[in-house]
Amino acid sequence: MNVRHILGISGGKDSAALAIYLKQKYPNLKIEYYNSDTGCELEETENLINRLEAYLGKIVRLRAVETEIEPTPFHHYLKAMGGFLPSPQARWCTKKMKLDRFEEFVGDDYAISYVGIRGDEDRDGYISTKPNIQAIFPFRKNIWSIDVINKVLHNDNLEQLIDLYNKLCPEGWLKDDIMDVVMKPLSKTFFYSKKMNALLDLDIKLFNHVVFEYLKTTDYPVGKLDEFPLLDNTDVLVKDDIFRILRESGVGVPAYYDEIPFEVDGKQGTYCRSRSGCYFCFFQQKIEWIWLLEQHPDLYAQAMEFEKDGYTWNQNESLAELCQPERVRQIKLDIIKRQEESRKQDKGTTLADILGGEIMCANCFI
Ligand code: SF4
């Protein structure tokens, strides 16, 4: 059965590192790389994607719409939406410019989509609404998506789980401990993540092989494979590993991460942009808008032009208000204060450290 292996390159550090990691560790996996081309990425992001392409081979650019009338797909869809800007509550941009085109690219083929959520993050990634696309998370201890875990460990499947463990678990002193956990049904105090973590702590590879055998009885893409090398992968990769992989490969860290110093009232701070994505992305923090204003004034002006008829990128504040000198000063002083507090607590002071966990979007920023 033909199953495609697919990896989305967002322009962020984690998907870049995942592509490099998988190429180095599993050179025989024939992975198709793609990038959702919105026409609205920063040049720093485009540069990273070009460097990655030189390292990995072809990255297919998926453009949601080709139009000669509008300069970018975003302009096209914004017009179709009557100028209604996307927001966290009405996020039509990701669907129209990325998800729909991605699902069209895969079509009805069985596909495994590799996602770079790190081992030190506590979140789930994009789970396709299409059953022929299955997400796998190689950087985490648990490589499976939540829907798979919920099925494998469901009490209705307890007998099947016990049979699979009995079949695959080698005889030995740990078998009794493992079978105790396997046989314990889920309850209000012994819920999915608790049972999963207990089984992973006992034996990651065994757990993965059991899940693999279970998937063979379903229509999940991984179950269509004869073998899957990631079953025996016990690596857990965290933020420092990501930066190391990027640097050691020669691809390097995206340039928008470079901390740029600034000074207000004799106090020092730094700013950068903490993620990839469209330059006008409404998920960015106020200090990132100031970074855009000062580092890419043309793009800030373009983002400002989209704000018409009462639509603004930020709730309660337009970009015209945000770029006033006193407001810029306030935002910079606020970030200086947060950086000083982080320094006192011996925590990281970069913008990515301070804001890193505040974004929840697997499709745009990983
Ligand atoms: S980066 Fe932001 S604006 Fe662009 S598609 Fe993603 S959520 Fe929307």
Rounded CA-CA distance 93/278 in Å is 10
Our mutation pick for probing the ligand 1 site, out of 10, 77, 91, counting the most ligand atoms within 8 A of Cβ, is: 91
How far does the centroid of ligand 1 lie from the alpha carbon of residue 100, in Å?
A: 14
How far does the centroid of ligand 1 lie from the alpha carbon of residue 282, in Å?
A: 7
How far does the centroid of ligand 1 lie from the alpha carbon of residue 297, in Å?
A: 19
Q: What is the pLDDT of residue 356?
A: 60
Q: Whose CA is nearest to atom 7 of ligand 1?
A: 94
Q: What is the pLDDT of residue 175?
A: 94
Q: Whose CA is nearest to atom 4 of ligand 1?
A: 278
3-class SS letters over the chain: CCEEEEEECCCCHHHHHHHHHHHHHCCCCCEEEEEECCCCECHHHHHHHHHHHHHHCCEEEECCCCCCCCCCHHHHHHHHCCCCCCCCCCCHHHHHHHHHHHHHHHCCCEEEEECCCCCCCCCCCCCCCCCCEEEECCCCCCCECHHHHHHHCCHHHHHHHHHHHHHHCCCCCCHHHHHHHHHCCCCCCCCHHHHHHHHHHHCHHHHHHHHHHHHCCCCCHHHHCCCCHHHHCCCCCCHHHHHHHHHHHCCCCCHHHCCEEEEECCEEEEECCCCCCECCCCCCCHHHHHHHHHHCHHHHHHHHHHCCCCCCCECCECHHHHCCHHHHHHHHHHHHHHHHHHHHCCCCCCHHHHHHHHCCCHHHHC
Q: What is the pLDDT of residue 287?
A: 95
Q: Whose CA is nearest to atom 5 of ligand 1?
A: 94
Ligand 1 atom, smallest distance to 283 CA: 2
Q: Which residues contact 77 (CB under 8 A, 6 or more apart)?
A: 64, 65, 92, 93, 96, 97
Domains of the chain and any CATH numbers: 3-144+234-249 (3.40.50.620), 149-232 (no CATH), 256-365 (no CATH)
Q: What is the pLDDT of residues 171-215, one digit of tens each?
A: 987 999 999 999 999 999 999 999 999 999 999 999 999 999 999
Q: What is the pLDDT of residue 268?
A: 95
Question: Per residue of the chain (366 residues), what is the pLDDT tens digit?
Answer: 799 999 999 999 999 999 999 999 999 999 999 999 999 999 999 999 999 999 999 999 999 888 778 899 999 999 999 999 999 889 999 999 999 999 999 999 999 999 999 998 877 766 667 899 999 999 999 999 999 999 999 999 999 999 999 999 999 879 999 999 999 999 999 999 999 999 999 999 999 999 999 999 999 999 999 999 999 999 999 999 999 999 999 999 999 999 999 999 999 999 999 888 999 999 999 999 999 999 999 999 999 999 998 899 998 899 999 999 999 999 999 999 999 998 888 887 777 677 765 555 556 666
Q: Are strands 267-271 and 260-264 parallel, antiparallel or unpaired?
A: antiparallel
- Ligand 1 binding pocket (C-beta < 6 A) is 38, 86, 91, 93-94, 97-98, 277-278, 281, 283, 361, 364
Q: What is the pLDDT of residue 251?
A: 97
Q: What is the pLDDT of residue 84?
A: 94
Ligand 1 atom, smallest distance to 277 CA: 1
Which amino acid, one-letter code, is at 298?
Answer: D
Q: What is the pLDDT of residue 286?
A: 95
